[in-house]
Every structure is written in structure tokens, then in C-alpha cells.
Structure 1
Amino acid sequence: MPTRPATLRLATLNICGLPPALSRLPPLEVRAAEIGRRIEASNLDVFNLQEVWGGRSLATVRRHLPSFPFAAWRRAVHGGPAGGLVTFSRYPLDEPRFRSFSGTAPRTSSLAFRAQRAINARRQGMLATAISGWNVVIGNAHLTANKDGDWSPGSRYYRFHEEQVAVLHTFLREVRSPETTLTVVSGDFNIAADSKLYPLITEDGAWRDPFRDSDAVTYHPEFLPAGATGHRIDYVLLSGDEARFPVLDSDTLFAEQLTTEDDTKIWASDHVGLTTRVGLDGVAGAGPTTISGTR
């Protein structure tokens, strides 16, 4: 079994693996090649991805991450990753568990809206796996998108997201074992960090948020409707003794356009990723997470 290193370096990204007709981004094959080139050259240990829709998308991404031979995901009925969730790792992973947000639904607005969101909730969910022999659990989550951009208590998404956050925290409690000392969950929560739902996400501070004091916007404004305001809707959260597992550094990922080998500028995704480096058992380790944003 590989020796546990001094630090855990984790990144999260909604890769937007939608069919080309539903995306304004370059094809996933083009983006995955550029993303993979940079992740391969980095010192990341774990890479959480959301919206890896379908087996072809998974194969495309996996082909460009050869240094991450371990991938945790559960097969959906269509053959691809359930919930579009995949956790890549340089270290062996235990058998993953997945749960969808089935059963959650909006309580207000039209019947058509509530029915459609309830159907979408069945496709999205939470994935969890443990790094073998580390007593560390890695969670990966994707909650339903708020198409209104309104997270106020009176919005039609508010109670819906309340339910999904509650389901997520229940799931994370269930996947921990008595030996678990650190849990890290990340992903696209689709909930603004400056909304009244934020205390629910962190369970009133029970989970540490390395980006709490950051004003980082994690959905590129270029992909928002005209006049809409960007927010931080992606998260990395930690549960574990702060003295043993300190956050050593955190940064955004793919916040700028990438330059391809033929000098074309492209976005890696419509989301900005996040990276966090955590000390294991109070050992700081060497050097921050490094990922080049250009060539």
C-alpha cells in the first residue's frame, strides 16, 4: 500500500460534458486535452469532476489523465457515470457509493416546473469514496442548477435546495466509518455563497470552507445572461480536526482562458475550478498546488 504523503491536494471542476448542441464551449475532446495536459503536469492528488455525462465523455477525460489511474464512479442505466460524477486519483480508491437527489423537488411554481426539476434531481446526486488506507473520505456533489439566479428565501428554488443540502449531509454522515478522520467534499452546489442558504452548506460552521473569505466567482460571467451577476457556486468543504488537517493554501483553477498548442484561446469549462491543499496530521509538506493556466 502506498505511503500516505504529507499533504492532500484536491481540485474540483464542473467540466460541462454536455452534448455540443447544448453547450457554447468547444468540444469536450478539445477541452479535455488541454485540461489533462495541465492536470498531468500538476502535483494534484485527487480531481473531482462533475457533468461527465456518458461513457464516451468518461473515456475522453480518462484518456487525458494517464497519471490518475484510479477512478471512482457508479454506472448509471445509460452506461455512463451516475450523476455525471467521477473522482480521479493518483492513489487507490475504495468502492464508491452514490445517491441521487431523487425525492427532492420544488414546492412552489407551476406543476410543469416542479415536475421537470424533480426529474432532473433524479439524474443528479452525490458520490463518495475513501482513499485506500488513509482514513480519508472524498465526496463529490452536483446539486440542481438555479436557472433563476435567485437564492432568496422567497425564490422557487430555496426549499428545493434546502432539501438537497440536507440529503447531502445525511449521505456524508452515512459514508464515514468510525476510522474516518478527514472528509473532503467538493463540487458544483449551484448555491450562491452570499445567500441565506450558506449556513446550511457549512452546517453552521461544522464544515470548514477554505474559500469563505474569497469573492471568487465560479461561473464565468461570459456564460451568464446579460446583466446577471456572478457568484461562487462551487465549493470545497472539510470536516476534520483543524490542527491535524490544516488548509495550507487554496486557489481558483482555469479562471482564465487556455492557450492551445495552435495558439487558440478556449475556456476549459463554463465553471471556474477550485484547488485546496490540506496538511495530513499537521504535516505541512512542500509547495502549494501548482497548475499552469497557459501552455
Structure 2
Amino acid sequence: MDSSSTLVSKALPRVLSEPTPRKHLHLQFEKSFPFANINYSAAGQKPAARSGASLNTLLYALSLSERGRRYVEGVMPLCGPPLRPELRLSRIWLEGPSTRRYLPAGAADLRSWDQLPRYINDRSDSEINLWLAAVLSSSRHEPELRVLGHRLNEVSTGSEVSLLSLNVWGLPELLGDRRREERREARLCRELRALGADIVCLQEAWGDTRRRVLEQGGYRYQASPENGHGVINSSGLLTLSNYPIEASHFAPFTCRPGFERLARKGVLFTKVRLPCGRRLEVFNVHLCSEPERLQRLLVSRAQAIQVRDSQLDEVAALIPKLSTHSGIRVVLGDFNIAESQPQYLKLQRLFGTDIYRRRMGESPLHDLCDARAEEERTGYTFDPLRNVFAARHHHARERLDYAWIETKAPAGFGFRADRLWVDDPISDHFGVLSSINILAAGTHYE
């Protein structure tokens, strides 16, 4: 063992293995942190001589100061599902040179572990995370503890956030075959759970489809328009998240022609708090559809184009009212605007960078020998050739669904997008799956 390992192994095990200094602190600790992410029932108890310090003991030590309590209460719940009780009480190995780098200044001079809090008072959450992540990531720990260490590291250094936008084609109850729709809804929930996107923006999630996704989709947080109920259905917009939603707002479009007055399409805003400390501002949008069937009797194609143009202006006017300078903005959904249409240029001007097109190349019209590469480059999300549900409509193959990110995002800000499609479609649209690399709050972009 090298000198740095000796320093850590001699200092922190002694610091964290002392008995609870005062019983009332233990009781206050349990009362202060009732959330289910960590079980503190054994926190503060002196561990057996051969077991060393436990995770519960360490968290209890941190909680003895106001700074440490804020850290435990604010950061730890973001780090995934609860650990098994035996893991919370298992020994934490503190040997190793990697932990010395993140050791709080002066920790080697501590004589009892209740002195530890005063050494973290001037430390940021990221610094505490990095130190604790280095401790828990030791190969000597159980896999679940190492996973917790990796999550803490993500909280410190940033996050890769995945976002899915999908028009689920949830037919209103009066129009759909209920049995067929139930089978498709069950498949949709299975696909969402298997995909595991961090944030999901759904369009056309009407009535029963919405209820089933909320019950079986596997997401902890959700936002849907409280005031978005039309004569038959709500707006159909639904945003799901694995991370806390701090705020949400729905704005119905003022211009909704024909039968779309019954659906009250609009834009659903959510502000999501990411593990790295940053906020992601998500605008879930569904614009006016191309008129078909009976809708053609009420709305012409030219009128639909004008309506979408007006709706884009409404979205653009809403963004500065809800967005903040500290948040990172994404606008995604079913825009019903093909990439070949002039309105696509307006999308670029209003919302920034088309993530999918940025990844695949600026022009979708290159002649490629590889047919699959050409298919991927065009990225059709409405594709009657490959989607049996879309084949019922008399439309060309088009890219109608987009994910946009603000052009002024800091340099070094990474993102990518893929068209999401399966051999057995679950909707008449294919989805767009995007991932964004976001640095931790307070981190300088290079």
C-alpha cells in the first residue's frame, strides 16, 4: 500500500467508525430525512469491529451539519432506486490513492467522525460527489455500490440525457377499435419501458392511451395539461420524466381549424431538474395536421399551412415567457411540417438546431450507394412504405417529427438523434430519440 493509501485508510475509517456522539442527533436525523431512497434506521450506530464504516454511517456523519444535511437531502434522492438493507450496512472500503485526491482538506487530522461536517462546509456538492464517488467506485465493493458511485460521478461531471418524441396515434374512443387499441397500448408501454429514455414527449395520447401509459409506462414524474380538455379529449400531450419536474404549463393554440377544435392542440412546457444540477426546459408541441377525410370539407391544405404558421408564432412567443437563461431549451414534437417545405426554414430560425439533421448532414438529398445509409439520412418519421399504419394515409414519405435545441447552447455541448423505428410499428409515426450531453451546473465549458 502506498503512502496515499495509508493516509486515507488511517484517517477516514477512524473518523467514520466512532460511535454516535449524541443520541438526540440520531433521532433528529431519522426525522429530518423521511424519503425512501436511503434507509437510515441503522445510521450512527457503531459498526462491528471487522465491518468498518457503512454507507448509513457515512451519510449520518455528513448530516451533522446544515451543509451536509442539504447535500444528503438534495443530492442523494437523485441517485437511483433504494439500496438493499445489507448493502447500506456493508463495509465501505476507503483504501486507494484515488480517494486522496478528493479528501476534504484537513480530514487526516480529524480525531472523531462528528468533526467531519466542519470540513465540508466550504465544499460544493460536486466536490463532495467526486470524493464519495471515488470511495464507492472501488472494485472491492458490491456492484450496486459501484453503480451508486458512478451515479454520483454523473451528478458531479454532468449527464447524458435521452429524450424521445413520439406521436402515439392514440385514436379517440369514438373512432378506434377498442380491442385493437388496447393491444397496441400494451405494446407501447412495453416499448417505453424497454427503451428507458429519460424524458418522453408524447403526442395524441388521448383518454385510455394516456391512462395506460401513466399506469404502466414506468415513469415517476409526469406532466399533462390540467386545462387541456376539449369536448371529446384533452390536448393529447403528455410528458414523462425519470427526473423531477419542477414546473409545467400548457398553452392551447388560439387557432384550431375544423375538428381540431375538439382536441385543443397546443404546447406543453416542463422544467426538469437533472442530476447534474442543471435545468432542461422541454417544449412538447403538436401542430395542425394535414386535412384528410371529413376535415378536407372544412379546411383546405393552404389554410392548414397558414394555421401552422400562426401556431409556430404562438410557440415562439411563449418561449421567452417561460424559459430562463440558466436552463437548456429543447423543442420537440410532431410539427406536421416536411423538411422540403418552406416552413422548415422558419423552424430553424425560431428554434435553433435540428438535432437529427445536424448529426446526419445538412442535406438529406445526397445520392448514396448504400440504401440503408440513405434511409437513415432522410430519417422519415411518417413513412407509408415501411409503416403499415401510415400506409392508410395518402401522403408521401416525410420527416414531420423533430427535436430542436437552442443554437446558443455553450460550446462543447454534445448532442445526437436517431430515428426510432421497429419492424412492427406501434404508431403511424416513427419517433425521434435524442441524447444531449450536459455538463454539471457551475462547470465551465471549454
| TM bracket, shorter-chain basis | 0.7 to 0.9
Instruction: Work out whether residues 247 and 272 of structure 2, in 8 Å CA contact, stay in contact via their aligned partners in 1.
Output: no
CA distance in 1, matches of 2:291, 2:430: 18
Listed as ranges, the gaps of 5+ residues in structure 2 are 1-73, 79-154, 293-300, 362-376, 441-446
Q: Distance in 2 between matches of 1:135 and 1:21?
A: 39
Match of 1:63 among 215, 220, 226: 215
- 2:238 equivalent to 1:86: yes
Task: Give the TM-score normalised by the residue count of structure 2.
Answer: 0.52
5+ residue gaps, structure 1, are 106-113, 149-153, 258-266, 283-295
Change (3 A) 1:36 1:141: same
TM-score (norm 1): 0.76
Q: What amino acid is the match of 1:232?
A: R
Q: How does 1:31-42 map to 2 (within 5 A)?
A: 31-42=184-195
Q: Equivalents in 2 of 1:40, 1:179: separation in Å?
A: 31
SS in 2 for 1:170: helix
Query: Could you say what the CA RMSD is over the residues aligned between the two structures, in angstroms?
Result: 3.0
Deviations 1:214-255 (A, max 9, x none): 4121123142467631211111111141524321x3211234
Of residues 262, 270, 292 in structure 1, which corresponds to 2:428?
270
Aligned residues: 254
Q: Are 1:52 and 1:84, in contact at CA under 8 Å, matched by a contact in 2?
A: yes
Secondary structure at 1:60's aligned position in 2?
Answer: helix
The 2-side partners of 1:87 and 1:13 are apart by 11
Query: How far has the Cα of 1:268 moved from its partner?
Result: 0.5
Counterpart for residue 223 of structure 2: 72
Q: Residues 200 and 240 of structure 2 are in contact (CA less than 8 Å); yes or no, is this contact kept in structure 1?
A: yes
Instruction: Give me the whole-angstrom Cα distance separating, in 2, the residues matched to 1:30 and 1:227.
Output: 25
Tell me how far 1:119 sits from its aligned partner: 2.6
Query: What are the Cα deviations for residues 162-187 of structure 1, in whole angstroms up to 9, with x where unaligned?
Result: 1111111111222102322x111111
Q: CA deviation at 1:93?
A: 0.4
Work out which of the two has the higher radius of gyration on C-alpha atoms and give 1 or 2: 2
Q: Any conservation in 2 of the 1:32–1:64 contact (CA below 8 Å)?
A: no
Q: Larger % of helix: which?
A: 2
Change (3 A) 1:51 1:273: same
Give 1:82 deviation, angstroms: 4.2
Deviation at 1:22, TM superposition (A): 2.8
Q: Which amino acid aligns with 2:272?
A: I
SS at match of 1:147: coil
Moved over 4 A (4+): 23-26, 78-82, 224-227
Within the candidate set 116, 136, 140, 2:284 is matched to 140
1:202–1:209 CA contact under 8 A, matched in 2? yes
Aligned to 1:231: 398
Question: Taking CA–CA contacts closer than 8 Å with sequence separation of 6 or more, which of the two structures ends up with the larger relative contact order?
Answer: 1
State the alpha-carbon separation in 1 of the partners of residues 199 and 233 from structure 2. 17
More strand by share: 1
